[in-house]
Amino acid sequence: MTLPPHGAAQLFRAGAVGTAVRGRLIMLHGRGATADGIASLAAPLGVLDRWSVVAPQAAGNTWYPYSFLAPMAQNEPGITSGIALIESLVQSALDEGFRSDQVALLGFSQGACLSLEFVARHPRRYAAVIGYSGGLIGPPGTPRDYAGSLDGTPVFLGCSDVDAHIPAERVRESAEVLSRMGASVDMRFYPGMPHTVNDEELAAGRELLR
């Protein structure tokens, strides 16, 4: 069941339709941003002619109120609601006839954190998971005893080495956890980069979604 506050999320849709569609790409925006903003990356990613794109809008433009490193309870019900929303979007894609390996997730910042936490809690073979400046959610020491396998899912994790919001240590921990769950992880750090998405990260995304 989808819980508030994101249960009635508006969806921004773009991309291919009909027989040309290779799969469904679910895109999650960051704190203070918008669904159409993250969906604007679909053009430089080169997916509009092959992927059906859906981007949900978080209530109040924020998936959860505090840092992703805060105790989980402080960020509820946002985390649970956001994950339930992603689950509903994945299920909708499956109901439309896509296989799970035709469903990809991409997020930036808060959206990346939520996407990575979702796939860890709902492991299966996905087409790709792309996390720009994000990591698994929870304070240091959070148990990472997720059950199941990602079955070779390709995962890209890109982040600044001095990101003000995402510690490099958490990105490394996330890569280790997802690798242990069977993902094929490509992790890259960019020295001194601000909290943004660079051209090399977009190129890595294009490669996974080609």
pLDDT digits (tens, 9 = 90+) for 170-188: 999 999 999 999 999 999 9
Which pLDDT value is given to residue 78?
A: 97
Looking only at Cα atoms, what is the longest distance across the chain? 46
pLDDT digits (tens, 9 = 90+) for 126-152: 999 999 999 999 999 999 999 999 999
Which pLDDT value is given to residue 9?
A: 85
Closest CA to 52 of 134, 127, 155: 127
Which region, left, alpha or beta, applies to residue 107 given φ > 0 means left and ψ of -120 to 50 means alpha? beta
Contacts for 91 with CB less than 8 Å, ≥ 6 apart = none
Q: How many CB atoms lie within 10 A of CB 78?
A: 23
pLDDT digits (tens, 9 = 90+) for 34-75: 999 999 999 999 999 999 999 999 999 999 999 999 999 999
Mean pLDDT of the chain: 96
pLDDT digits (tens, 9 = 90+) for 95-132: 999 999 999 999 999 999 999 999 999 999 999 999 99
Cis peptide before 77 (omega within 30 of 0): yes
Distances (CA, A) of 203 to 25, 37, 60, 183, 210: 16, 19, 31, 20, 10
| Integer Cα distance of 210 and 207 in angstroms | 5
Which pLDDT value is given to residue 155?
A: 98
pLDDT category of residue 8 using cuts at 50, 70 and 90? confident
Which pLDDT value is given to residue 180?
A: 98
Which pLDDT value is given to residue 2?
A: 58
Which pLDDT value is given to residue 1?
A: 56
Which pLDDT value is given to residue 3?
A: 65
